[in-house]
Amino acid sequence: MSAFDAVANADVPVRDASTVVLLRDSDQGLETWLLTRVRGMAFAAGASVFPGGRVDEADAELPFAPGGVALTASRFGCDEARARVLLGAAVRETFEETGVLLSIPVADLSGARTDVEAGRIGFGQLLRSNDLVLDAEGLRPWSRWITPVGEVRRYDTHFFVGALPDGAEAQDVTSESSSASWVGVGAALEAAQRGERIMLPPTLATLASLVPFETVAEALAASEGRSLEAVQPKITAGPDGGYRADLPDGSSFLLPRATGGGR
């Protein structure tokens, strides 16, 4: 049964989550890292998504560089305690799913990624033992999406954009994806429109919002003017057995039948 077939249930808890739109410049223009979720996943199965996931209580205890936490709290309209958790989850999930560490100073600890993902070593422990702090200022708030009522799992997902650190290499490593790679922002959107990639509304809308920018620097600078009002799509039955996601601004997306909510 698709998550879209679930009966609306107001008792499903809405959990905080973070997503990172990792960006890099290329000769073909702006590129982002996309993972294709394995088909057996309970959430966003088969969909192309950005790195991310739900927050963990331990994310609040990670070492941070000063400055970025207050900015994130101000932009998302939350207190600094919640901002720390959101930023911590963003950096941790990016590391677990790509091996890229958004830290100060920049470091390659990808060899420890599997141990962190499996819980054999705490992310905070790894950072402190290498005298590293999280680069909170390197992540810029971009948008906020809440999973629609009716899903079996619901998230209040805070999207950040961030640049691939100099010298870092994203890797196709996480067990939660069947493939992962750098993709041109426009090319990814066109692939979804042709039906070659399954994407959910947050991913589609995020890609569309990045199309106007030619460089990472331009996209990061534009983050300051972004509206961060939470977007919660309304899912209704669409043609051909699929579903339609209607957004508050009047736009809509046709969705494939068996994906569920996602990034």
Mean pLDDT lowest among 37-46, 147-156, 195-204, 222-231:
37-46
**Distance in angstroms (rounded) separating the CA atoms of residues 216 and 25:** 6
What would the pLDDT profile of 63-78 be if each residue is shown by its tens digit? 998 788 999 999 999 9
Mean pLDDT of the chain: 87
The band of 238, judged by pLDDT with boundaries at 50, 70 and 90, is low
**In this structure, are residues 247 and 189 in contact, taking their beta carbons and an 8 Å threshold?**
no
**In this structure, are residues 260 and 4 in contact, taking their beta carbons and an 8 Å threshold?**
yes
pLDDT at 26 exceeding the cut of 80: yes
CA distances from 21 to 3, 40, 102, 258 (A): 24, 24, 12, 24
Mean pLDDT lowest among 8-17, 172-181, 206-215, 254-263:
254-263
Q: 105: cis peptide before it, omega within 30°?
A: yes
pLDDT at 46 exceeding the cut of 80: no
**Distance in angstroms (rounded) separating the CA atoms of residues 90 and 20:** 6
Contacts of 9 (CB under 8 A, 6+ apart): 149, 150
- Rounded mean pLDDT, 38-65: 81
CA distances from 173 to 168, 193, 214, 251 (A): 14, 27, 28, 35
The band of 252, judged by pLDDT with boundaries at 50, 70 and 90, is confident
**In this structure, are residues 170 and 180 in contact, taking their beta carbons and an 8 Å threshold?**
yes
What would the pLDDT profile of 77-104 be if each residue is shown by its tens digit? 999 999 999 999 999 999 999 999 999 9
- Percent of residues in the chain assigned helix, strand, coil, to nearest 5: 35, 30, 40
pLDDT cut 90: percent of the chain above it: 66
pLDDT of 127 reads: 98
CA distances from 227 to 122, 189, 230 (A): 34, 21, 9
- Rounded mean pLDDT, 109-122: 94
- Rounded mean pLDDT, 4-29: 81
pLDDT of 151 reads: 76
The band of 20, judged by pLDDT with boundaries at 50, 70 and 90, is very high
- Rounded mean pLDDT, 139-158: 91
